[in-house]
Amino acid sequence: NSSYTEKFNVIDDQKRVKVAQTLEGGCLEIGCSIQLVRFDIIEKSPSKSIIKSDISYAVKKEFQAKDPKPNIQCLAAVAQAAKYYLERANWA
């Protein structure tokens, strides 16, 4: 997918949830009418967490035969970068 612009619709630091909506670019250029990306941080212990991400999207009727799908590679790269940083951070 190409570059894109998004806005965060939900930022809940208490629940550790963030939801972003694509405004332009990305999968909207290949036939999606909406794309939402949700991030949940699930604490497993004081020193371990899981980042759960979910992509929801709808396809415009005229593009359904082409079956466009959002690219998750960018999300995977962000998760790996966060993991790398957090594992090396000095929290003391």
| Catalytic position from the list 7, 15, 18, 48 | 18
As a whole number, mean pLDDT of residues 16-44 equals 92
Confidence of residue 60 (pLDDT cuts 50, 70, 90): very high
How sure is the predictor about 38, in pLDDT bands with cuts at 50, 70 and 90? Answer: very high
Residue type at 62 in one-letter notation: E
Residue whose structure tokens are 């604490």: 43
pTM: 0.77
Taken in order of first residue, the domains within the chain and their CATH numbers are 5-90 (3.30.530.20)
Active site residue 69: no
Alpha helices (runs of H) in the chain, residue ranges in sequence order: 73-88
